[in-house]
Amino acid sequence: MTTLVAGYRSVSLLVSINWDRLLYVFTIIFALFLGAYLGTMFL
């Protein structure tokens, strides 16, 4: 149980430190998928 709590805390710390980088990556991925979707609609 303590291992799970320690793992959760470390992941939570990494996310809180790097949330802006994760947001940047997810925004790029979303834009690529949206571009692919729109590209297939207009072909």
Residue 22 token pair:
């994760």
Helices 2-17 and 19-41: crossing angle in degrees, nearest 10, is 70
Q: What pTM does this model have?
A: 0.60
Domains in the chain: how many in total? Answer: 1
Residue 43 in any domain: the answer is yes
The answer to whether 20 touches 27, Cβ cutoff 8 Å, is no
Residue 28 token pair:
């790029």
Expressed as residue numbers, the domain containing 38 is 19-43
The whole-number pLDDT of residue 29 equals: 98
Annotate 34-43 with b (16+ C-beta within 10 A) or e (fewer).
Answer: eeeeeeeeee
Distance between CA 10 and CA 4 in Å, rounded?
10
Residue 6 in any domain: the answer is no
The whole-number pLDDT of residue 8 equals: 77
pLDDT in tens, 1-43: 777 777 778 888 888 888 888 899 999 999 999 999 999 998 8
The whole-number pLDDT of residue 7 equals: 78
